[in-house]
């Protein structure tokens, strides 16, 4: 035996150094001299398993079992060869044979747990993981695999417990940190998700899954600009990373950075030219940025593939309306209406364009809600930077010219509060500021400003009629343009105001009828109609001026700015 020790040492060193062929030759030389040398037999089995010679590996391990049928390690090595060849039933039988020789053998229980987990036999797997941890409770690998099992069972709280066990045992276990981030993100616990992704990235700065998921968590946390940097970092590491590019394109779209969104959607379409969602989003970005031909191209492509796509018809109609091609706009609205005959928004827009039938008194609530829900993500930037919308500031200046209240002295209701631009302009006067809007997503944006004491998703008239307190000031910036007949809302406003209360509002201008539904889907009002209605309701007419509300088709859009008081 002593004469083989130098040869065994040389073989062991060769195997450790990765010199597989040399080690294999040396072990074979050992067996030529000592055919039942278990160390050489097991080593040759391990070498064959590593090099993919599974049949040979099985033969070597079976030889070891014949020599020593009581060693559970040999059964486990043989069982793994059957797992690698896909024969899970045979592997299970071999592991069970190992337990006959040593019922508490930890590696056997662990291998059986992994085997059952792979077969989605979770309860069996759990019992063997428990047997493993009973002997080695601080085995981080077992806790990690157990966490994966609970994830597969959708028992996410248990999974979090196991991955936290891993982190306690090894704070540098990056994979567990990333999975914890994913689970917290799934539970919408953004603070913990971001914290765990950041810790993982501090350990592995180029961990693409952590970078991409951190960006996704920041998007959910409304920190879109910060998210962009992480998606871009992933693409620097791997320009082919699909999820990061899609996330980046969607984030640019939500930030109204339309040209950048278009560039990334075009890259995505090079790899997935049949993706209708990418065609659609690119069409939306093109439409929003004024690239109407490009928008037509992508919405038309969708309709060639799927002629019944309602949203593509509606958007094409809107594009053709921007191009002043009423016939095509009408055609696509009609196609959309044929697909959804009860759609109030499409009926409304068809009425606005064709002027057929009686003019509706107001825009449908669904139309307003859908319009501003889809606009909420980039409303402020688009309105203030692209459309040069400054109505709230103009209203504030005009109000100060007729009344100078003490700071924070007024109960103010902001009708059509949107993202809170008007509330922000008037908050210096507000003792209490309440916002009313039909768009849930606009209200979510307003909530983040932290300036409103209350926000309500309600119709204006209902909100004003349900009041239990008097109001000092009602503001309605660009909100009454979605109603033609303003008599109901004006009467409700008059009743809701305290004596010597005020109402400040804007609406678009027409010189034709009392009110006119325009092809934009907004109403314009005649000055004389507003004056007569104010008098009829009992208001005192304090001030009127014509302002530039914003740009429309790169031209100034003029509006009435009116201030009334309740005498």
Do both 498 and 462 map to the same domain?
Answer: yes
User: Tens digit of pLDDT for each residue in 552-566?
Assistant: 878 899 999 999 999
Do both 60 and 159 map to the same domain?
Answer: yes
**Domain finish residue from 357, 379, 407:** 357
Question: pLDDT at residue 267 above 50?
Answer: yes
Cβ–Cβ < 8 Å for 427, 457: no
Segment 283-296 shows an average pLDDT of: 93
- DSSP code string of 124-178: HHHHHHHHHHHH-TT-HHHHHHHHHHHHHTT-HHHHHHHHHHHHHH-TT-HHHHH
Segment 250-256 shows an average pLDDT of: 90
Pull the structure tokens for residue 297: 């191209």
Question: 154: buried, middle or exposed (CB in 10 Å: 19+, 13-18, 0-12)?
Answer: exposed
User: Tens digit of pLDDT for each residue in 71-120?
Assistant: 999 999 999 999 999 999 999 999 999 999 999 999 999 999 999 999 99
What is the CATH number for 407? 3.40.50.150
Compute how many other C-beta atoms are within 10 angstroms of the C-beta atom of residue 298.
26
Can you give the pLDDT at residue 2? 55
User: Tens digit of pLDDT for each residue in 516-564?
Assistant: 999 889 999 999 999 999 999 999 999 999 999 998 878 899 999 999 9
Sign of CA dihedral 62, 68, 70, 74: negative
Q: Which residue in 143, 162, 142, 152 sits closest to 119, CA to CA?
A: 152
**Domain finish residue from 318, 334, 357:** 357
Domain region containing 534 = 370-565
Do both 374 and 353 map to the same domain?
Answer: no
State the helix-helix crossing angle for 88-101 and 72-84, rounded to 10 degrees: 170
| The CA-based dihedral angle spanning residues 91, 97, 102, 106, taken in that order and rounded to the nearest 10 degrees | 10
**Domain finish residue from 357, 381, 410:** 357
Listed in sequence order, the DSSP H helices in 223-309 are: 224-237, 242-254, 258-271, 276-288, 292-305
What is the CATH number for 312? 1.25.40.10
The Cα–Cα gap between 87 and 293 comes to 58
What DSSP designation does 359 have?
P
Place of tokens 């305290």: 498
User: Tens digit of pLDDT for each residue in 372-392?
Assistant: 877 766 677 777 777 889 999
Which range among 4-8, 197-201, 440-444 has the greatest average pLDDT?
197-201
Do both 71 and 150 map to the same domain?
Answer: yes
Cβ–Cβ < 8 Å for 564, 534: yes
Do both 71 and 131 map to the same domain?
Answer: yes
Pull the structure tokens for residue 525: 């009002």
Q: Which residue in 363, 355, 333 sits closest to 346, CA to CA?
A: 333
Phi-psi category of 554—alpha, beta or left, where left has phi over 0 and alpha has psi -120 to 50? left
Q: Which residues contact 402 (CB under 8 A, 6 or more apart)?
A: 502, 542, 543, 563, 565
Can you give the pLDDT at residue 1? 44
Question: pLDDT at residue 340 above 90?
Answer: yes
Do both 311 and 402 map to the same domain?
Answer: no
| The CA-based dihedral angle spanning residues 166, 168, 170, 173, taken in that order and rounded to the nearest 10 degrees | 50
- The verdict on residue 61 lying in a domain is yes
- The verdict on residue 224 lying in a domain is no
Report how far apart, in Å, the C-alpha atoms of 268 and of each of 14, 34, 87 are. Answer: 49, 63, 40
Do both 385 and 343 map to the same domain?
Answer: no
Can you give the pLDDT at residue 322? 87
pTM for the model stands at: 0.76
- The verdict on residue 435 lying in a domain is yes
- The verdict on residue 189 lying in a domain is yes
Q: Which residue in 141, 113, 114, 137 sits closest to 127, CA to CA?
A: 113
The Cα–Cα gap between 377 and 419 comes to 9
Q: Which residue in 28, 27, 34 sits closest to 13, CA to CA?
A: 27
Q: Which residue in 230, 297, 238, 233 sits closest to 269, CA to CA?
A: 297
- Across the chain, mean pLDDT equals 93
The Cα–Cα gap between 115 and 148 comes to 13
Do both 409 and 434 map to the same domain?
Answer: yes
- The verdict on residue 44 lying in a domain is yes
Do both 456 and 321 map to the same domain?
Answer: no
The Cα–Cα gap between 232 and 210 comes to 13
User: Tens digit of pLDDT for each residue in 382-438?
Assistant: 777 778 899 999 999 999 999 999 999 999 999 999 999 999 999 999 999 999 999
- The verdict on residue 261 lying in a domain is no
Sign of CA dihedral 304, 309, 313, 315: negative
- DSSP code string of 107-118: HHHHHHHHHHHH
Do both 501 and 404 map to the same domain?
Answer: yes
- The verdict on residue 407 lying in a domain is yes
Q: Which residue in 333, 340, 293, 328 sits closest to 314, CA to CA?
A: 333
Pull the structure tokens for residue 455: 């926000």
Q: Which residues contact 520 (CB under 8 A, 6 or more apart)?
A: 352, 552
Domain count, the chain: 3
Sign of CA dihedral 375, 377, 380, 382: negative
Do both 285 and 409 map to the same domain?
Answer: no
- The verdict on residue 410 lying in a domain is yes
Do both 318 and 389 map to the same domain?
Answer: no
What are the contacts of 288-294 at 24+ separation with CB within 8 A?
A: 288/256, 288/258, 288/378, 288/382, 289/258, 289/259, 289/262, 291/262, 292/319, 292/322, 292/323, 294/262
């Amino acid at each position: 035996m002593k004469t083989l020790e130098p040869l065994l040492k040389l073989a062991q060193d060769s195997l450790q150094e990765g010199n597989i062929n040399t080690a294999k030759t040396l072990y074979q030389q050992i067996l030529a001299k000592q055919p039942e040398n278990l160390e050489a037999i097991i080593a040759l089995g391990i070498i064959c398993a590593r090099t993919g010679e599974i049949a040979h590996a099985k033969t070597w391990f079976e030889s070891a079992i014949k020599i020593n049928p009581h060693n559970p390690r040999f059964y486990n090595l043989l069982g793994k060869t059957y797992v690698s060849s896909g024969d899970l039933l045979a592997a299970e039988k071999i592991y069970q044979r190992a337990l006959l020789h040593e019922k508490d053998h930890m590696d056997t229980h662990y291998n059986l747990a992994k085997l059952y987990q792979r077969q989605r036999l979770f309860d069996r797997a759990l019992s063997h993981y428990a047997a493993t941890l009973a002997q080695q409770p601080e085995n981080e690998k077992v806790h990690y695999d157990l966490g994966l099992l609970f994830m597969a069972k959708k028992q996410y709280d248990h999974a979090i417990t196991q991955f936290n066990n891993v982190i306690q045992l090894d704070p540098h276990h990056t994979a567990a940190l990333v999975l914890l981030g994913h689970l917290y993100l799934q539970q919408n616990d953004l603070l913990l998700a971001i914290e765990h992704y950041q810790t993982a990235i501090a350990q592995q700065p180029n961990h693409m899954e952590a970078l991409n998921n951190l960006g996704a968590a920041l998007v959910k946390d409304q920190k879109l600009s910060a998210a962009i940097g992480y998606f871009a970092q992933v693409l620097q590491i791997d320009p082919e990373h699909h999820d990061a590019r899609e996330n980046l394109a969607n984030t640019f779209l939500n930030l109204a950075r339309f040209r950048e969104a278009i560039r990334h959607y075009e890259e995505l379409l090079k790899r997935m030219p049949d993706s209708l969602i990418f065609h659609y989003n690119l069409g939306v970005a093109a439409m929003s940025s004024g690239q109407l031909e490009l928008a037509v191209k992508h919405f038309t492509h969708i309709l060639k593939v799927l002629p019944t796509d309602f949203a593509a018809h509606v958007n094409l109609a809107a594009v053709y309306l921007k191009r002043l091609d009423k016939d095509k706009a009408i055609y696509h609205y009609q196609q959309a209406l044929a697909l959804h005959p009860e759609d109030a928004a499409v009926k409304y827009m068809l009425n606005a364009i064709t002027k057929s039938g009686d003019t509706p008194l107001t825009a449908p609530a669904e139309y307003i809600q859908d319009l501003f829900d889809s606009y909420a993500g980039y409303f402020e930037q688009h309105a203030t930077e692209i459309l040069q919308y400054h109505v709230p500031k103009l209203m504030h200046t005009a109000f100060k010219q007729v009344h100078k209240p003490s700071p924070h002295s007024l109960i103010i209701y902001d009708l059509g509060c949107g993202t809170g631009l008007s509330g922000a302009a008037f908050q210096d006067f507000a003792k209490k500021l309440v916002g009313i809007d039909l768009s849930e997503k606009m209200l979510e944006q307003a909530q983040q400003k932290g300036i409103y004491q209350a926000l309500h998703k309600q119709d204006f008239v209902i909100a004003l009629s349900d009041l239990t307190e008097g109001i000092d000031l009602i503001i309605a910036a660009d909100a009454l343009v979605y109603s033609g007949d303003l008599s109901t809302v004006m009467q409700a406003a008059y009743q809701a105001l305290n004596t010597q209360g005020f109402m400040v509002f804007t609406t678009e201008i027409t010189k034709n009828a009392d009110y006119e539904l325009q092809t934009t889907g907004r109403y314009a009002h005649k000055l004389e109609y507003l004056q007569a209605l104010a008098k009829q309701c009992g208001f005192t007419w304090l001030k009127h001026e014509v302002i530039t509300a914003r740009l429309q088709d790169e031209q100034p859009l003029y509006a009435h700015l009116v201030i009334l008081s309740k005498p």
